Structure 1
Amino acid sequence: MNQEGESYLNLHRFVLGRKVLNQSAHHLVQDGATFHVHYWGVVPKHYDNSLHKHSFFEICYVIDGKGTYMEKDCVYTLQKDILFISKPEILHQIRSEKGLALVYVAFELIESESSNEWINMMEKVKQCQQPVIEVKEDTTANLLWKALLIESIKTKNNFFEYILPNLAASLIHSLLEMFIPNPQANIQANISENTSSLLAQAKLFIKDNLANDLKLSHVANHLHISGRHLSRLFVSELGINFSKFVQKERINQAATLLKTTDLTIKDIARETGYLDVHYFTRVFTDIMRQPPRRFRALYMNSEKIIYTDD
């Protein structure tokens, strides 16, 4: 085996990275899904454990060694490059006489913070009838897991807190895709990627054009899709309709301008797409619980208090 492969097999050097992962990659948000990671594991020698079950998903990857995995009275052989999943509430057991080199992750989807598409996808994973699969060394999941372990033991830099959670989220997405019992899984993944791209473009266009008339039809035309399609994207991916999202962005921008500029209330209303300053004031007050002028005054007063304390 080449030197790179040997370094990956030597899991001892990644054990410290496990602590870093558990500290920095436990709340993952990506592409409409929010995952809570209960724990990451790196075990150079895993022997027997008792028959048990979890209330969450656990996915393990065998780096080296031999053993067995038991689930529902079925016994599966474990060896290098085997990936296996333990689903919620399913009794299972791992056994190995000489020890398995394992990496693993335990997680669950936070449904209240995830799209319906992801909730449905996780239900499909629960229906998987083949909990043990063999993977090639150059599969996406394998390479992502390797990259994640390497990043976990690097010296922290300015990008560390960004790279680690995003790598971790991409890994979980890639792992789950392998256990979806659907021959169209890859097609669905491409559709999901296209959906996320369209939504990102729509959100960016809205944020860059808050001063303009942002009708659903205008934004849809810019993206070359139907208004109905765009409307469905916002509801399914964000849980909010198009007009509510635009209103939220307008008011958030107005609040920022009130705090960071000397613009008049009338000018801020125009900058955020409200031609009628009275209507702007009414909407702002409903959402922020304070009229614009008082909101600015309260913020300025709080800033003065902070400076006095320092």
Structure 2
Amino acid sequence: MEQYLLGKASLNREAADLTQNGASFRIHYWGVMPSHYNTSLHQHSFMEICYVLEGKGMYINDGQAYSIQKDTLFLSKPNILHQIKSEEGLFLLYVGFELVESASNEEWMNLIQKVKDCSDIHLKLEEKNAIVLLWQSLLVHSTNNDQVLYKAILENTAFSLIATLIQTFCPPIETSKPVNVNETPSELLSTVKIYIKDNLSQALLLADVAGHFHISGRHLSRLFQSGEGVNYSTYIQNERIQKAATLLKSTDQTIKDIAERTGFSSVHYFTRVFTEKLGCSPGAFRTLYTDVKKMTYRNENDFMEG
């Protein structure tokens, strides 16, 4: 509780104005109230959103009563009379905010209008809901003002919380188009290529890599043929030579060590493949590029064209 109260004080000092991604928010207050009982009937010119950490009570909004308890989230819209009643007391987290329209784009103004028009202002959240985790993380982090990235993390987390709160009270977008949750071939290929790049010292047999990604070897072969225009073995060999050339130019590692780091079974085999691809031996290549500042190829793949 004490940490949350300290966090509230820091937030009100450090996170009163939030501007990101085309939106600017004025935060009128961040609130933490461990023992909240009754309020009189009142209204705000801005939005207020409350979350119940503990306790039970009633929320009366525009004449309608709602039961509130642990993990309840509720919204007070601008210029709507409302009040909270509780005999046993509530532990509340709350925030009052408004969009600065002059500094925000049309998309955000439309989102805020949707929240103002929404009919469901009272929600029951799961205990580990993103809103709960963000809010708690924000309060905890706001007390760590001795950290190097304190301000950046604070502002990003605060903005993320406000955006998530707005999204929660926006009506869902109706669409007849099914959502594709499957990974596309290009996405899968990109992931496989990263894996290969990070594991060039290994054998990288087709069957092993395919098994790692729970696909067949035939499917993996087709991915490289259609996406890279070369078969799997050629792609692997090109990646090994590319990495070897980079190491020859930028490090003083021995040719034997470079051969091992790039997955060649022997220095002899490495030298033969390297020479076939680039037209000179690894030793001669290193001599040509002893001074790294003399690199003249435009990108890492230019030397592969020979």
Maintained 8 Å contact 1:127/1:181: no
Work out whether 1:76 is the aligned partner of 2:66. Answer: yes
Aligned to 1:152: 142
Structure 1 residues 39 and 136: CA distance shift in structure 2, 3 A: same
Cα distance in structure 1, aligned partners of 2:149 and 2:174: 35
* Alignment-mate amino acid for residue 165 of structure 2: L
Maintained 8 Å contact 1:47/1:98: yes
Q: 1:86 aligns with which of 76, 81, 84?
A: 76
The alpha-carbon deviation at position 72 of structure 1 amounts to: 1.6
Q: TM-score, normalised by structure 2?
A: 0.56
Q: 2:24 aligns with which of 9, 13, 34?
A: 34
Aligned to 2:161: 171
Structure 1 residues 44 and 12: CA distance shift in structure 2, 3 A: farther
Work out whether 1:14 is the aligned partner of 2:4. Answer: yes
The alpha-carbon deviation at position 174 of structure 1 amounts to: 0.3
Q: TM-score, normalised by structure 1?
A: 0.55
Q: RMSD across aligned C-alpha pairs, in angstroms?
A: 1.5
Cα distance in structure 2, aligned partners of 1:184 and 1:158: 43
Aligned to 2:106: 116
Q: Any idea what the Cα deviations from partners look like across 1:246-278, whole Å, max 9, x if unmatched?
A: xxxxxxxxxxxxxxxxxxxxxxxxxxxxxxxxx
Aligned to 1:100: 90
Gap regions ≥5 residues in structure 1: 1-10, 188-310
The alpha-carbon deviation at position 143 of structure 1 amounts to: 1.0
Secondary structure at 1:62 match in 2: strand
Secondary structure at 1:145 match in 2: helix
State the identity as a percent.
Answer: 48
* Alignment-mate amino acid for residue 113 of structure 2: E
* Alignment-mate amino acid for residue 65 of structure 1: G
Gap regions ≥5 residues in structure 2: 178-306
Aligned to 2:130: 140
The alpha-carbon deviation at position 13 of structure 1 amounts to: 2.8
Cα distance in structure 1, aligned partners of 2:151 and 2:3: 21
Q: How many residues align?
A: 176
Q: Any idea what the Cα deviations from partners look like across 1:200-242, whole Å, max 9, x if unmatched?
A: xxxxxxxxxxxxxxxxxxxxxxxxxxxxxxxxxxxxxxxxxxx
Cα distance in structure 2, aligned partners of 1:118 and 1:184: 19
Maintained 8 Å contact 1:12/1:44: no
Higher helix share: 1
Cα distance in structure 1, aligned partners of 2:140 and 2:174: 32
Q: Any idea what the Cα deviations from partners look like across 1:65-97, whole Å, max 9, x if unmatched?
A: 000100121100010000001010000001111
Secondary structure at 1:43 match in 2: strand
Maintained 8 Å contact 2:3/2:140: no
Q: Which structure 1 residue ranges, 4+ long, deviate > 6 Å from structure 2? A: none
Cα distance in structure 1, aligned partners of 2:122 and 2:9: 27
Maintained 8 Å contact 1:69/1:95: yes
The alpha-carbon deviation at position 140 of structure 1 amounts to: 1.4
Cα distance in structure 2, aligned partners of 1:43 and 1:12: 11
